[in-house]
Amino acid sequence: MPDRYAVIGNPVAHSKSPLIHAEFARRTGQSIEYERLLAPLDGFSETVARFRAEGGRGANVTLPFKQEAFALSDRLSARARRAAAVNTLRFDADGIFGDNTDGAGLVADLERNLGFALEGRRVLLVGAGGAAHGVIPALLDAGVGELIVANRTLPRAEELARAFAPRVAASGFAALAGRRFDLVINATSATLANAAPDLPSGLYAPGSLAYEMMYGQGETPFLASARRDGAGRTVDGLGMLVEQAAESFLLWRGVRPDTAPVIRMLRGA
């Protein structure tokens, strides 16, 4: 019987993870089944327990359960501890192992797929929730020169920045006026409301990149605003999705699939 895996979230019907992992399995000769599991907002741990009892071997975790997955894990990877969030669970005889592959996925997409070297870059990370927290360690490890976390409510940005002090600074949106960045990442949920963060104009340096963590939405309000404001390139998070999935697949199966053909397939679709 194929080993069973799943993505757990709420909502989850839109997730491309089953398609991605099916393609990974086909290309690497692995025998797996991968499904979507819609967990009630107050029933994440019960959903995980039921899936394990039914023979599940591991799961990806998406919004809004990454912090709950962190708390549920019996053991944690170093990057999950630094991110204080878990997006990948592996079930074994020792319990639940929690990992966070989001940051590795983002850096791989930026540097390998997009050819955007991060060392020394001025980076603005918009948003102070779990998505932002999950990628900061990997951005720091990649050697960014400056990392500013900006949020509509400044205290949340300050709280997140303190967790990585002194290498991360906090800012409100208005205080960004006059600053310029090489990379601006939208880690807010504004796109789900068909809106963009209320950022000041003039943020984009020559040759800059605007990166939307959401995917499959076409040109989002954030990307449209960035293009009008002078961003050199705009891109969504589809590559990050595939790269973080490849990291999860490696954790589960011991082999890292080639991501480039899967990204091309999804872009074509």
Q: Could you list the active site residues?
A: 66
Q: How far apart are the first and last CA of the chain?
A: 30
Q: Indicate if the alpha-carbon torsion angle 133, 135, 265, 21 is positive or negative.
A: negative
Token pair, residue 54, equals: 């039914």
Give the whole-angstrom CA distance, residue 259 versus residue 13. 23
Give the whole-angstrom CA distance, residue 255 versus residue 258. 10
How many CB atoms are closer than 10 A to CB 74?
11
Q: Indicate if the alpha-carbon torsion angle 52, 55, 59, 63 is positive or negative.
A: negative
